[in-house]
């Protein structure tokens, strides 16, 4: 669309988002609340209705960001004690959101809830589990999580598990074990979206081989533009179209800007990760003193990733997965109020309204409905998969 300046593009973006649903595939607010000692795992006590300038997500800014659906992550660190219990605590926090603020959120567990929330002027609140450590090497929790409303699962986080290799840890399995394959197939049967963010490329390829439904990359960028191991390589991107899958561009600075990635490399291990359970403030301060401040990532650089991803996958396979978590953000995308600015930048780059509709929600909704259809069909012909990792892998 020609003849837009920044102000008119932002006006146009907001006009579009009054009509189009906007879906964000990943936000770690539940972990922020879980970690807040004063909140004591209570959404009401955290008081999400007031501004939280110390982080990036609260109700006032969610409304300003014009979201129609948010996928909240029940993220559990791999090294956490009692990860099964912690996963349930995070799921409970997500379930509290529409209970505590029914005027803002609706409990959501189907693709149709996205349009329902838009019609009601509310935000569809979806549950995801980020990291299979909470399974504790058993298939049974999958069905309990699904019954609680979980509709997306990220197979692992920053560490390799007993059945799946992480992108940011030493590989142990060459991808997925037999138990890992059973997890994927059971997620298909349950109608839960399989999310390959955080997995090693070997896992990505294997899941693209075996999944009976489209899969999601809920917060990844392009490895070709920034060589963080969490980004998707070209040979994976080139398979997304055939699988009718979706990759959601993410806002993490180290996944956007190669200079930011290079600056932070000495602070991380050989696989690009640092632990959520360890503070690196002193190390960061010393590194900054010696090397200057970390280069900033920007909204414009994120759009370069979006356009590169689109060039590899086509317009029907792109979405938005911010990964707001209370940490570093790019210039122009400081918090959840800034989603319209992303749409405005795409307008300035010549994206049509039809293309913006696809990245805002249409591509993801199509994938979600396909996963639901697959689950309904498989549930009529397949019994539940049961057992533990040792029953499949003999360990």
Q: Which CATH number covers residue 179? A: 3.20.20.140
| 65 band by pLDDT with thresholds 50, 70 and 90 | very high
What's the token pair of residue 215? Answer: 């899969």
Can you tell me the distance from the alpha carbon of 237 to that of 121, in angstroms, rounded to the nearest whole number?
35
Q: What single string gives the DSSP state of each residue in 165-205?
A: -BTTS--SSSSB-HHHHHHHHHHHHHTPEEE-TTB-HHHHH
Q: Which residues share a beta bridge with 249?
A: 320
Number of domains in the chain: 1
Q: What percent of the chain has pLDDT over 70?
A: 97
- Per-residue pLDDT for 119 more than 70? yes
Report how far apart the first and last C-alpha atoms of the chain are (Å, whole number). Answer: 58
307 vs 222, 289, 303, 346, 351, CA distance in Å?
A: 10, 35, 6, 9, 10
Q: What integer is the mean pLDDT of 254-273?
A: 87
Average pLDDT, the chain: 96
Tokens 């979206």 sit on residue:
193
pLDDT score recorded for residue 279: 60
DSSP 8-state secondary structure symbol assigned to residue 231 = S
Can you tell me the distance from the alpha carbon of 262 to that of 258, in angstroms, rounded to the nearest whole number?
6
Per the CB < 8 A criterion, the answer to whether 151 and 192 are in contact is yes
pLDDT in tens, 180-217: 999 999 999 999 999 999 999 999 999 999 999 999 99
Can you tell me the distance from the alpha carbon of 192 to that of 109, in angstroms, rounded to the nearest whole number?
10
Task: Give the residue numbers spanning the domain of 241.
Answer: 19-383
Looking at the domain assignment, is residue 6 inside a domain? no
pLDDT in tens, 365-379: 999 999 999 999 999
121-125, 142-146, 266-270, 354-358 — which is least confidently predicted? 266-270
pLDDT in tens, 299-312: 999 999 999 999 99
What's the token pair of residue 270? Answer: 């050989």
> Hey, which bits of the chain come out as E strands?
23-27, 69-75, 105-107, 123-130, 150-154, 193-195, 216-217, 246-249, 318-320
- Per-residue pLDDT for 280 more than 70? no
Helix (H, G, I), strand (E, B) or coil at 285: helix
Which of 351-378 are b and which e, b meaning 16 or more Cβ less than 10 Å from the residue's Cβ?
A: beeebbbbbbbbbbbbbbebbbebbeeb
Looking at the domain assignment, is residue 373 inside a domain? yes
pLDDT in tens, 155-180: 999 999 999 999 999 999 999 999 99
| 276 band by pLDDT with thresholds 50, 70 and 90 | very low
Looking at the domain assignment, is residue 81 inside a domain? yes
- Per-residue pLDDT for 26 more than 80? yes
Looking at the domain assignment, is residue 160 inside a domain? yes
Looking at the domain assignment, is residue 134 inside a domain? yes
Catalytically annotated residues? 26, 28, 130, 157, 198, 219, 323
pLDDT score recorded for residue 284: 85
Dihedral sign for Cα atoms in the order 323, 326, 327, 329: positive
What's the token pair of residue 300? Answer: 């414009």
Compute how many other C-beta atoms are within 10 angstroms of the C-beta atom of residue 139: 20
The candidate with the shortest Cα–Cα distance to 31, out of 81, 83, 76, is 76
Can you tell me the distance from the alpha carbon of 34 to that of 88, in angstroms, rounded to the nearest whole number?
11
| 1 band by pLDDT with thresholds 50, 70 and 90 | very low
Can you tell me the distance from the alpha carbon of 243 to that of 191, in angstroms, rounded to the nearest whole number?
16
Looking at the domain assignment, is residue 392 inside a domain? no
Per the CB < 8 A criterion, the answer to whether 26 and 248 are in contact is yes
pLDDT score recorded for residue 283: 82
Can you tell me the distance from the alpha carbon of 345 to that of 19, in angstroms, rounded to the nearest whole number?
18
41's CB contacts (< 8 A; 6+ apart) are 33, 34, 89, 92, 93
Can you tell me the distance from the alpha carbon of 28 to that of 46, in angstroms, rounded to the nearest whole number?
14
Looking at the domain assignment, is residue 36 inside a domain? yes
Looking at the domain assignment, is residue 389 inside a domain? no
124-133, 178-187, 267-276, 287-296 — which is least confidently predicted? 267-276
pLDDT score recorded for residue 3: 57
pLDDT score recorded for residue 83: 98
């Amino acid at each position: 669309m020609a003849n837009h300046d920044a102000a008119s593009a932002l006006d146009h973006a907001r006009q579009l988002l009054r009509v189009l649903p906007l879906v964000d595939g990943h936000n770690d607010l539940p972990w922020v609340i879980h970690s807040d000692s004063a909140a004591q795992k209570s959404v009401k006590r955290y008081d999400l209705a007031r501004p939280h300038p110390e982080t990036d997500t609260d109700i006032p800014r969610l409304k300003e960001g014009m979201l129609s659906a948010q996928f909240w992550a029940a993220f559990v660190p791999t090294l956490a004690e009692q990860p099964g219990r912690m996963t349930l605590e995070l799921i409970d926090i997500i379930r509290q959101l529409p209970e505590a603020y029914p005027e803002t959120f609706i409990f959501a567990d189907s693709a149709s809830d996205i349009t329902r929330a838009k019609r009601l002027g509310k935000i569809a609140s979806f549950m995801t589990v980020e990291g299979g450590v909470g399974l504790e090497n058993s298939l049974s929790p999958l069905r309990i999580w699904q019954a609680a409303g979980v509709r997306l699962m990220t197979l692992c986080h920053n560490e390799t598990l007993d059945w799946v290799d992480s992108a940011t840890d030493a590989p142990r399995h060459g991808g997925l074990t037999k138990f890992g394959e059973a997890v994927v197939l059971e997620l298909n049967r349950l109608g839960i979206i399989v999310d390959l963010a955080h997995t090693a490329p070997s896992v990505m390829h294997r899941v693209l081989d075996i999944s009976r439904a489209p899969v999601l990359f809920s917060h990844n960028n392009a490895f070709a533009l920034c060589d963080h191991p969490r980004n998707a390589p070209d040979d994976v991107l080139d398979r997304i179209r055939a699988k009718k899958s979706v990759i959601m561009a993410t806002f993490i600075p180290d996944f956007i800007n190669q200079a930011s990635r290079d600056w932070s490399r000495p602070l991380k291990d050989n696989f690009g990760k640092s632990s959520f359970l360890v503070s690196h403030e002193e190390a960061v301060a010393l590194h900054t003193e010696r090397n200057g401040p970390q280069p900033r990532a920007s909204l414009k650089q994120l759009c370069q990733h979006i356009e590169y991803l689109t060039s590899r996958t086509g317009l029907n396979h792109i979405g938005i997965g911010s990964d707001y978590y209370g940490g570093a953000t790019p210039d122009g995308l400081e918090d959840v109020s800034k989603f319209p600015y992303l749409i405005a930048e795409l307008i300035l780059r010549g994206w049509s309204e039809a293309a913006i509709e696809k990245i805002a929600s249409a591509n993801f909704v199509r994938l979600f409905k396909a996963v639901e259809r697959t689950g309904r069909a498989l549930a009529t012909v397949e019994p539940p998969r049961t057992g533990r990792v040792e029953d499949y892998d003999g360990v």
